[in-house]
Structure 1
Amino acid sequence: MKTVPSLLAWSAMLSLSGCADTGEDCGLAPLPGGAGQPPPLLSLGVPAALHVQPSLRGSCDGSDTSQVPDSITAEVFDPNNHTVASEASLTGNGQSATVRFTPTTPGRHHVRVAFSPVGSLQQFGAYVSRAWTGGGPTVLPLPRCTQLDRTTQGTWLCDGVAVHATTAAQTPLGGVSGIPDVAVAGNVVWVVGEDRVRRFVDTGAELELTGSLLLNQRDTVKVIQSRLATAEELWVLDSERLHRFAFTPAGVVTGAAPTPWGQGNQMPFGVDMVLGLLVRLGPDAVSVIQVTPEPDSHACTFRLGPDEAFVASEAPCQRLPGVPAGLEDGAVWTRVDSLLLPQPGQTLYRWAAVEGALTERGTLVVDTPLELVSAPLRPGFALPFIQWRQSRVGAAAPVAPESLGPLGLELLPGNTDLSSGPRTLSPRFYWEADAGDPTRQTRVFARGASSLK
């Protein structure tokens, strides 16, 4: 049978080196424990069997081990720290053990296995994922999209090209200068490019242009970092300023004076080196997420002023641990990396807008050798996901619980042989390059009813 790489990040061994039968210290380190063969991904509601090896010491006369455990106890805790019923037994004449339990909650479980009189205390994480709750794939006849969304009427927007639901006809929204930036809110599509801001409405038959603003020198949008859209407003963060565009009752697109947003020492972050992100705090307030040479991320609030332009709040910026790793309309995800032994890994946080501030709404510890894949953030809303580095068994999306608590996990669909590069996860969709023809097609899966709060 092929050996499946371990999920587990082992804690410090509690046993000491030396000879168990004589007490002689011969300078031999314990043989490592925890090198078992657990399933790379546990399924919700399916009985699981984790195989664990004790940490044993080599004998001074050169034999493999001087003593093996003759008893074992085990405890399993779910993501909410509730005890899960489990059974543990020694196998292989004490050379290994099996822990069995049936998970009923998705997310990271903590397992403790104690061997006696030798073998040490082993602690590790086991990851439980619920099944995919979304739909099957939709194939778009376009190379894998970087920026992807869909209107309520069903028109797909992929890298500045509209693919109409009824006819599959393609309508480029850009010009000769390149791919425009697109934001979707219901059936409203905002397009920024070629020194213009345009607003379209999807009628079901076509994208009807309802307003256009030619940008003057004051309103020129530089390199876009982030954007937020409603049917009536578009907020755009470029590399220097925060812009607000509005569609008035008179049917005109207007632009307020842009507001400088940087602290002067912001640093690029993420896989696509973005400078800042927008998180909506309310109908007239937004948080600009940025990273400076100081530790952690900073969330600085801007509110609409009397002239309909944004004004920086006098309140100090809120500090968030780690660097941004994902983005929603009203939430940002951050990750904290730790290289310290004995338990290297990452911690993922989700911060949601609650009463005008960002509040923690879920965490997940990601142990080595799991990999937390951060999303490209510049194209729009995107979420991190977890994949198993050395075995292609798929990937899982972190999911916020219905109420307060740790993050759960949901298995992602699609081609498990793909690397992380051709995959993208957003609050609404998961999409990937088509394995048969990655240069011409994109496979999109709509996510189920979201539990993100």
Structure 2
Amino acid sequence: MKVGQRFTLRITPVNPSVCGEPTLPTSVTAEIEGPSGEPIEGQIQLGEATAPATLQFTPVRPGPHHILVAFSQVGGLHQFDFHAVVDSSLSAPSYTLNRACTSLERTQQGSWVCGTTVLRGDTQVATFPNARLAVAGDVIWVLSSTALERYVDTGSALVMTGSLNHSQGNATFLLASAEELAAVHDDSLALYTFSGGTLASAGVTPWTPPAASVGFAGDPHGLLLREGSQFILVTRQAVNFQSVIQACPYQLDSGRLQRTPETCLQLGGDVVGFEPQVLWTRDPPFMSGTRLEQGSIHRWEWSGGRLVEAGSVSLGAQALLTFPPMVTPSVVPAIYANQSGNFSASLTAVAFWSAERRAILFEHLDAEVHSLRASPTFYWGNISPSTSPPLTKIRLRSQAPIP
């Protein structure tokens, strides 16, 4: 449901029968609680005979809403949890690219980095097969299994500013700034620097990747978060026969990422997103009566050498997570309404952090996008699964949606 728009919920009473004749409820009431527990005004009416009752109300603030519906005499007590989302679909700028993008970034000059291809509009500027790309401002880093190249987008051309051969093999994760590139290779952690017109690496730190990826098959086996000279490496490990998320701190020392003596933090659940200083996780789903609750999303911030939980929100039984590949520099959790497990693009939303409310809220951006993916900056995916060639629709995300 969307903030400021009328929401309708139909509730079917549980009707026992006596001697084959249905027994009907005589009345129905509804209580609606907003994000802070405040009462929300609504109207509810009984349906005729065995028809569902109809509840209507208009959410005024984004966030979780709890609904309690009680039928009199017979019909039972019904509880529902829904998220009211900010609707940015009419205001978010929109772009379309004539190809599918497994990852998406944009330079300050406006060039799109779609997977391994750099585009200006729909015009291909350059392509870098068998490499990973990362963007920081107008800088584009290109890292293959044997070489690193650094380019600057001038608005009219890509200018190479440095190159460096290396022997670290494939990289599975990149974290970029304009002057530094941190990379998780198959068996090492490396920091590459650009200074005085020269690319260099002060050395690498060996590491043994775990057997499991942080997410699903094809996802990286390690993610890096960074604040200044402090890093944290996020992996999935088997500890005491349990699969856990493990976050181990590293410190930059003479250009190398060195493991610090601090104990690794262990978290339950799954990794469902990451940003340069943020980790998103989800608790496992669980049964509550006859409902499958989807667990809670947690937002963790890497700051001051500690990974601290900033906030969490329960998904309830009505919201399902999407699980896009974790191949972009940032992945933000996205959800869709649970309609018997079927996906509907018109009922999707992506998480954002409200600093004012210190809460995780959700924003709806588009009713056409399938195979959706989201970062703090973009929301994108195929316009239609059957389009050939596939068209990618992009919506720019506001950095501060109105809470």
TM-score normalised by length of structure 2: 0.88
Cα distance, 1:332 vs. partner? 1.6
* Alpha-carbon distance between aligned partners in 1 of 2:277 and 2:130, rounded to the nearest angstrom: 26
The within-5 A match list for 1:345-360 is 345-346=293-294, 347-360=296-309
- The equivalent of 2:48 in structure 1 is 92
The within-5 A match list for 1:174-213 is 174=128, 178-213=129-164
Match of 1:304 among 252, 266, 291: 252
Change (3 A) 1:367 1:117: same
Unaligned regions of 5+ residues in structure 2, if any?
none
Deviations 1:286-314 (A, max 9, x none): 11111112343111111111x22111121
Deviations 1:93-150 (A, max 9, x none): 5864333322011233111122233332211112322212653432223x20112211
Match of 1:62 among 20, 34, 43: 20
1:283 correspondence with 2:228: yes
Deviations 1:179-223 (A, max 9, x none): 3111100011111015111111111221111111111x4xx133x
- The equivalent of 1:10 in structure 2 is none
Cα distance, 1:341 vs. partner? 4.0
- The equivalent of 2:9 in structure 1 is 50
1:101 correspondence with 2:57: yes
Cα distance, 1:328 vs. partner? 1.4
The within-5 A match list for 1:434-449 is 434-435=383-384, 437-439=387-389, 441-449=391-399
- The equivalent of 1:243 in structure 2 is 190
Deviations 1:136-176 (A, max 9, x none): 432223x20112211001111112221135xx5423242xx
Change (3 A) 1:286 1:169: same
The within-5 A match list for 1:54-203 is 54-59=13-18, 61-63=19-21, 65=22, 67-92=23-48, 96-132=52-88, 135-141=92-98, 143-164=99-120, 169-174=123-128, 178-203=129-154
Amino acid at match of 2:105: D
Query: Residue 119 of structure 1 aligns to a residue in which SS?
Result: coil
Deviations 1:386-420 (A, max 9, x none): 1234363341112222334442221131525x3x3
* Alpha-carbon distance between aligned partners in 2 of 1:355 and 1:94, rounded to the nearest angstrom: 60
Match of 1:292 among 214, 237, 240: 237
* Alpha-carbon distance between aligned partners in 2 of 1:266 and 1:357, rounded to the nearest angstrom: 26
Cα distance, 1:265 vs. partner? 4.5
* Alpha-carbon distance between aligned partners in 2 of 1:194 and 1:300, rounded to the nearest angstrom: 25
Query: Residue 320 of structure 2 aligns to a residue in which SS?
Result: strand
Match of 1:402 among 346, 352, 355: 355
Moved more, 358-367 or 202-211: 358-367
Measured on the aligned residues, the alpha-carbon RMSD in Å equals: 2.5
- The equivalent of 1:28 in structure 2 is none
Amino acid at match of 2:94: P
Query: Residue 315 of structure 2 aligns to a residue in which SS?
Result: strand
Cα distance, 1:369 vs. partner? 5.4
Query: Residue 302 of structure 1 aligns to a residue in which SS?
Result: strand
* Alpha-carbon distance between aligned partners in 1 of 2:387 and 2:46, rounded to the nearest angstrom: 49
Deviations 1:235-288 (A, max 9, x none): 01123221100111x2111112211344x65522423343111122x1111111
Q: Contact 1:374/1:383 (CA < 8 Å) preserved in 2?
A: no
The within-5 A match list for 1:211-250 is 211-215=162-166, 217=167, 220-222=168-170, 224-248=171-195, 250=196
1:379 correspondence with 2:328: yes
Unaligned regions of 5+ residues in structure 1, if any?
1-41
1:314 correspondence with 2:261: yes
Match of 1:390 among 337, 342, 345: 342
Amino acid at match of 2:88: W
Deviations 1:416-447 (A, max 9, x none): 5x3x3xx2212111222243744254222222
Q: Contact 2:163/2:199 (CA < 8 Å) preserved in 1?
A: yes
Q: Contact 2:210/2:221 (CA < 8 Å) preserved in 1?
A: no
Query: Residue 292 of structure 1 aligns to a residue in which SS?
Result: strand
Amino acid at match of 1:90: L
Q: Contact 1:400/1:451 (CA < 8 Å) preserved in 2?
A: no
The within-5 A match list for 1:354-369 is 354-368=303-317
* Alpha-carbon distance between aligned partners in 1 of 2:197 and 2:366, rounded to the nearest angstrom: 42
The within-5 A match list for 1:418-429 is 418=370, 420=371, 423-429=372-378
Q: Contact 1:361/1:404 (CA < 8 Å) preserved in 2?
A: no
Identity between Structure 1 and Structure 2 (%): 28
The number of residues matched between the two structures is 390
Query: Residue 91 of structure 1 aligns to a residue in which SS?
Result: coil
Deviations 1:338-363 (A, max 9, x none): 24242313222222223332222333
More strand by share: 2
Change (3 A) 1:205 1:95: closer
Amino acid at match of 1:446: L
Cα distance, 1:90 vs. partner? 3.0
* Alpha-carbon distance between aligned partners in 1 of 2:343 and 2:118, rounded to the nearest angstrom: 37
Change (3 A) 1:429 1:197: same
